[in-house]
Structure 1
Amino acid sequence: MGEIFGPAERLHAAVRRRAPRIAVSVVRDEEAGLSRVSVTYRGEGPRLIGWDGSSYTWHDGPYRGLSIGADAEEVADCVAATLGANRPH
């Protein structure tokens, strides 16, 4: 049985708190047996973010394979900046 509140769930909660305009969900990759976080903001995304055992990493898109960091709150801020959700519109 997997963790009830693992890395994907921690990031999901952090994005909801720190960047509420971003659409965020936890998706399960049944083939890999992992949970990933899907983020979308306006025309950006969806993008997947995974946990590699020591940090969150972009799973697809132009930043695929790039480590974002280990702290969910800081990663949420980085995701918001990357997707443009913290810019005034």
Structure 2
Amino acid sequence: MEYQTTEKICAYAKWLTQACRVAGLDAEQYGGTVWVIADDHRLSEQVTCQLDENGTLRWLWSWGRPITHLRDMTRILTPDEVDELVAAIKNVVSIQVPRR
């Protein structure tokens, strides 16, 4: 059972990594984690696919919160909502960082 879950998590991570790259983001997969680096290399984000307390697969931000839909913050995205996941990630890593 656990092997199947690990295999599924890695497949979702691969799918998300490829979708991020198609969207113009620099993304690398490490097991169930996807590391996304912004174009200017000043911002990056690590998202991880894992089981929540109810046994449901979810994508989590590096700070441990589930990734939600950009326009409906009450709706937690499922792992197969790749387009919405990429949009949310792109929104985070595309914030303009002031140069010092």
Provide the TM-score with structure 1 as the length reference. 0.68
Establish whether residue 36 from structure 1 lines up as the match of residue 33 from structure 2. yes
Cα distance in 2 between the residues matched to 1:77 and 1:24: 14
Give the counterpart of 1:25 among 6, 25, 28: 28
What whole-Å deviation, never above 9, does each CA across 1:54-76 have from its counterpart, x for those lacking one?
Answer: 22111x2xxx1111122122101
How far 1:36 sits from its partner (Å)?
A: 0.6
Give the 3-state SS of the residue equivalent to 2:87 in structure 1: helix
Q: Corresponding residue for 1:12?
A: 17
**Taking every aligned residue pair, what percent have the same amino acid on both sides?**
17
Provide the TM-score with structure 2 as the length reference. 0.61
Q: Say which structure, 1 or 2, has more relative contact order (CA 8 Å, 6+ apart).
A: 1
Give the counterpart of 2:88 among 56, 66, 78: 78
How many residue pairs align between the two structures? 72
User: Per residue, is there more strand in 1 or in 2?
Assistant: 1
Question: Which entry has the higher C-alpha Rg, 1 or 2?
Answer: 2
Cα distance in 1 between the residues matched to 2:82 and 2:50: 13
Q: Which consecutive residues of structure 1, in runs of 5 or more, have no partner in the other structure? A: 29-34
Superposed CA RMSD = 2.1
Give the 3-state SS of the residue equivalent to 2:7 in structure 1: coil
